Amino acid sequence: MTEPNNSYQAGLLSRLGAAKQLYLIDFTLGAMKRRTGRNVMLFSVYLAIIFILGSVMLFSHAIRREAAILLENSPELLVQKLRMGRHELIEGTRLEVLRKIRGVRQAQGRLWGYFYDQANGANYTLMVPREQSKTTAVKPGETIIGEGVARTKGIKQGGYLFLLSETGKLMKLKVKQVFSNQSALTNTDLILLSEPDYRRFFVLPPDLYTDLSLTIRNKREIDKIVEKAAKLMPQARFITRRDILRTYESIFSWREGLLLALLGGSLIAFTILSFDKASGMSAEERREIGVLKAVGWETSDVIAMKFWEGALVSIGAFVFGVALAYAHVFFFSAGLLEPVLKGWAVIYPSFTLTPSLGGIQLATLAFFTIIPYTAATIIPIWRAATTDPDEVMR
Amino acid sequence: MIELKKVFKQYHEGRINEVRALVNINLTLKKDCITVFKGPSGSGKTTLLTLIGGLSKPSSGRILLDGEIISNLPEKFLAALRREHFGFVFQRFNLIRGISVLENVMLPAYPMAPAHAPLRQKAKDLLERLHIPEKADMPVDVLSGGEAQRVAIARALINDPDTIIADEPTANLDSRLAVQFLQIIEQLRKDGKTIIMTSHDPRIWQARIVDRVIDMEDGHIVEENEKVANP
Amino acid sequence: MMKFLSNTMRRSHLALAVIATGAAGLALMTMHAQFSGRSSQLAGHAALVAELGLTDLALFTEARYTRHPSQADLFTPFQDHPLSFDHFPSGSLVLPQRQFGNKDLFAESLPQ
């Protein structure tokens, strides 16, 4: 082939390249019609795998991102009392000790705990808002509840919430407000009540708290302050904001059940798919390649034609699989994943995630699905494509 | 003009199942002629056809096309050669299922990527010329033997080759269709094409239009009959 | 509709058009992700987290150690059921903390 000696010829050649690929695609799609059912099934399985993997990837990425943004506002330092390795209530007298540490701006007791509602098998988180809370302040006899609580108990704003305390007494609280869906991801099961109500409900003496929360003047000093506090309170456990964030960095990571199971299942499905593709060409396919070469197709044309077969199916499945996954996760709140995530929980937040595309995850998914499938389409025909076509005469 | 000089072809060379398909073939095939190779099965005539058409290479010896050696060309150039100079009609036609008759005819032109609409028209014109224009959009499975052969001939003509190579073209056809085939071949010769065929069929090698009949046996050329040119 | 399209369009054009449509859908989603405006709702949510001092997502309300994994002590899972760590299905989705506050859990679990 002569080299182009001007840009017109070069343009012509590149158009020739595209034009030839279109012809090859015409042919390969026609040849695929021979086994329409099988090819449709392969495509559907492929699409389903990408959809499921894509949904889980997009969901995990979005949750991790959402957690990272939201929990950046968690308390800077929490102090938890441990006895025999178990979390125990902490005395308010510790607050004075901690306030004296240089760099601690504020130290407060936190009151929060769990309540199991026998009536419907749901777990609620009961909590007292902090002193400085403005929008979430509650007076005795009042409560603010999460949307999951409202949904499960069938209560609306203005209605009444009844909780049965361990003493056998029923506590009646007027629902001042129900948190919206927008914040359901963190407070769907929350019941906020005043400190007197909380202590009365759980029969808690006045100076005991669930844990203590510290506000630090200079964030860079947190580790130093933890060091000093640990010396003052050797039996305590200190949880920094960084610890909290780190817990959610690894949520849904590969080692955890969901993704591992899916990955394992997908790999098996893919092996079957690829094996089916690669388990030898039929005599007809081999003869067909001989015919193509005999009428003047080069080896590269034959391989390119086969490449398009694999590429069109895999790229098509990927593009539509991811699009469907995106819609599933961000417009339908990953509804199909809900049963898996919910497990035995009665309350599951009714939330919508902030849309985001995990570019690296999707690129990884593309790499590990498109390339193997395309390769599995080309490899079986390599030998036939490179041998002489004279066998077709026989 | 096609020349073969001291051409040998062995399969499975050096092994226990070695087959000597062609032995010391020396041959010149002139242009615008109809040449038929005849002989029993295993005589090497199909092998000879594959060498002439560049579908395989000789074990030794040379093959020349218009004075240029083609037997040692790399595959890429051989493919171009097949595209531009030769049109093949296979014994079992070898039409490709899944694509239409028209697309089968267009197939050899794909690597050259001509404009689509003119190519389609050219293919339609060929089918028209062979009296099967109505079959253009049909699948190849529904064609009769004679129709399939004509599609195979149209496919062989799409790139305007100067030489048509046909292997046992009438093996699966009845007398009427064999006669029709010969009529098509005669017309092609009048159009200036060289025709090279193999055939068991006496209707072919005894036909009036055939210029030369070459007898083969066990890989050798045993007899040649060049007919006097028709006035 | 597909039959009509395949009769009037070249197969390759049809296939590429279909894939281009899918790719356009993906591009739309990328733009949606960028400009959806849900991030302003996220800001409101974040303010609530700050005000209440919340520490965990309320995704797994099954058990204590899945509801507040960042606060759970080492023994909570075992308290709930003597034999299991992953007694609750969500437990297999949420790993325990490797670094347990300022204390080391087990030397083996620390990042090397």
Instruction: Give, as one character, the DSSP assignment of residue C69.
Output: T
pLDDT of A324 reads 94
HEC sequence for chain B: CEEEEEEEEEECCCCCCCEEEEEEEEEEECCCCEEEEECCCCCCHHHHHHHHCCCCCCCEEEEEECCEECCCCCHHHHHHHHHHHEEEECCCCCCCCCCEHHHHHHHHHHHHCCCHHHHHHHHHHHHHHCCCHHHCCCEHHHCCHHHHHHHHHHHHHCCCCCEEEEECCCCCCCHHHHHHHHHHHHHHHHCCCEEEEECCCHHHHCCCCCCEEEEEECCEEEEEEECCCCC
Residues 56 to 95 of C: which have CB under 8 A from any A CB?
56-64, 66-76, 79, 86, 88-90, 92-95
Q: What rounded mean pLDDT belongs to chain A?
A: 87
CA A364 to chain centre: 15
What pLDDT score does A392 carry?
Answer: 61
Best of B55, B63, B76, B162 to substitute, by most chain A Cβ atoms within 10 angstroms, is B55
In the predicted structure, residue A1 carries a pLDDT above the cut 50: no
With an 8 Å Cβ cutoff, is B55 touching chain A?
A: yes
Nearest by CB to residue C90, choosing from A25, A250, A341, is A341
Contacting residues for A94 by C-beta, under 8 A, at least 6 apart: A79, A212, A233
**Rounded average pLDDT over C38-48:** 87
- Compute the average pLDDT of residues A81-100: 91
For residue range A183-207, list pLDDT tens digits in order. Answer: 999 999 999 999 999 999 999 999 9
* Distance in angstroms (rounded) separating the CA atoms of residues C18 and C38: 30
Report the pLDDT averaged over residues A144-152: 96
pLDDT at B52 over 50: yes
How far is B212 from A392, CA to CA, in rounded Å? Answer: 26
Q: Quick check: helix, strand or coil at residue A98?
A: helix
Q: What are phi and psi of A121, to 5 degrees?
A: 70, 15
Q: Is A273 helix (H, G, I), strand (E, B) or coil?
A: helix
> What rounded mean pLDDT belongs to chain B?
90
Beta-bridge partners for B28: B3
Which residues are CB-neighbours of C45 under 8 A, at least 6 positions away?
A70, A182, A183, A185, A186
Q: Residue A148 and residue A184: Cα distance in Å, rounded?
A: 8
For A176, list phi and psi in degrees, rounded to 5: -75, -35
Using the Cβ of A120 and the Cβ atoms of chain C, whether some distance falls under 8 Å is answered with no
Is residue B155 within 8 A of residue B123, CB to CB? The reply is no
Q: What is the structure's pLDDT at A380? A: 78
Q: What is the dihedral of CA C69, C74, C77, C83, to 10 degrees?
A: 150
Cα A45 to chain centroid distance, Å, stands at 22
Task: List chain B residues with CB under 8 Å of A292.
Answer: 107
Nearest chain A residue (CA) to C12: A26
The pLDDT score that the predictor gives to residue C58 is: 93
Q: Give pLDDT, residue A250.
A: 79
Measured between alpha carbons, how far is A368 from A254 in angstroms, rounded to an integer?
A: 15
Q: What are the structure tokens assigned to A313, written together?
A: 């199916």
Bigger pLDDT: A283 or A237?
A237
- Within chain B, what is the greatest distance between any pair of CA atoms? 53
Per-residue pLDDT tens digits for B161-195? 999 999 998 887 888 888 889 999 999 999 999 99
Going through A170-216 in order, the beta strands assigned E by DSSP cover: 170-178, 190-192, 208-209, 211-216
Q: Which residues of A touch C15 (CB under 8 A)?
A: 25, 29, 312, 316
Per-residue pLDDT at C64: 83
Over residues A133-158, mean pLDDT: 94
Say what the pTM is: 0.84
For residue B230, pLDDT over 60 is answered with: no
Say if residue C109's pLDDT is above 60.
no
How many A/C residue pairs have CB atoms within 8 Å? 238
Provide, rounded to the nearest whole percent, the portion of chain C with pLDDT above 90. 26
Beta carbons of B134 and B116 less than 8 angstroms apart: no
Nearest to C33 among A69, A74, A355 (CB): A355
- Predicted pLDDT at A266: 76
Evaluate if residue A213 carries a pLDDT over 70.
yes
Q: What is the pLDDT of residue C104?
A: 55
**For residues A262 and A253, what is the distance between their CA atoms, to the nearest angstrom?**
12
Model confidence at B42, in pLDDT bands (50, 70, 90)?
A: confident
How much is the average pLDDT of A334-347? 86
Give the integer Cα–Cα distance in Å for A365 and A124: 38
Q: Which residues fall within 8 angstroms of residue A383, CB to CB, at 6 or more apart?
A: none
The pLDDT, as a whole number, for residue C73 is 80
Mean local confidence (pLDDT), B187-215: 91
Write out pLDDT tens, residues A33-67: 888 888 898 889 889 989 988 898 889 889 999 99
Segment 129-148 of chain B within 8 Å of chain A by CB: none
- How confident is residue B123, by pLDDT bands cut at 50, 70 and 90? very high
AA letter at A301? D
Q: Please tell me which residue of chain A has the smallest CA distance to C15.
A: A312
Name which of C39, C53, C88 is nearest A130 (Cβ-Cβ): C53
In this predicted model, which residue has the larger pLDDT, C99 or A190? A190
Residue B131: band (very low, low, confident or very high) from pLDDT cuts 50, 70, 90: very high
Q: What percent of chain A is modeled with pLDDT above 70?
A: 91
DSSP code per residue over A286-331? HHHHHHHHHTT--HHHHHHHHHHHHHHHHHHHHHHHHHHHHHHHHT
pLDDT of residue A2: 44
With cut-offs at 50, 70 and 90, classify the pLDDT of residue B197: very high
B103-121: pLDDT as tens digits: 999 999 999 999 999 999 9
Task: Give the model's confidence band at A4: pLDDT under 50 very low, under 70 low, under 90 confident, else very high.
Answer: very low
As a whole number of angstroms, the distance between CA C26 and CA B207 comes to 66
What are the φ/ψ torsions at residue A254 (nearest 5 degrees)?
Answer: -60, -30
Query: b or e along C72-90 (b: 16 or more beta carbons within 10 Å of the residue's beta carbon)?
Result: bbbebbeebeeeeeebbbb
Nearest CA in chain B to A304: B111
Give the bridge partners for A112, in sequence order.
A127
- C89/A80 touch (CB, cutoff 8 Å), yes or no: no
For residue A149, pLDDT beyond 70: yes
**ipTM score for this prediction:** 0.91
Search chain A and give the residue with CA nearest C94.
A251
A101 in Cβ contact with A225 (< 8 Å): yes
A207-210 long-range Cβ contacts below 8 angstroms, 24+ apart: A207/A91, A207/A92, A207/A93, A208/A89, A208/A90, A208/A91, A208/A92, A209/A89, A209/A90, A209/A91, A209/A92, A209/A109, A209/A110, A209/A111, A210/A89, A210/A90, A210/A109, A210/A110, A210/A111, A210/A112, A210/A113
Which of the residues A39, A73, A127, A232 would you substitute to probe the C interface, choosing the one with the greatest number of C C-beta atoms within 10 Å?
Answer: A73
Hey, which residues does B36 pair with through a beta bridge?
B197, B213
Contact C19 A322 (CB under 8 A): no
Q: What's the rounded Cα separation, in Å, for the pair B192 and B30?
A: 12
Biggest distance spanned by C-alpha atoms of chain C: 71
Is B97 touching A (CB cutoff 8 A)?
yes
Nearest CA of chain A to the CA of B231: how many Å? 35
Residue A255: pLDDT over 60: no
Query: Does residue C99 register a pLDDT over 70?
Result: no
* Cβ-defined contact of A136 to C51 (cutoff 8 Å): yes
Number of residues assigned to chain A: 394
Question: Has residue B229 got a pLDDT over 60?
Answer: no
More confident residue, A13 or A57: A57
Interface test with B, best of A285, A393, A394 (most B CBs within 10 A): A393
pLDDT at B231 over 60: no
Please give the average per-residue pLDDT across A12-20, as a whole number.
Answer: 74
Region A147-158: mean pLDDT is 95
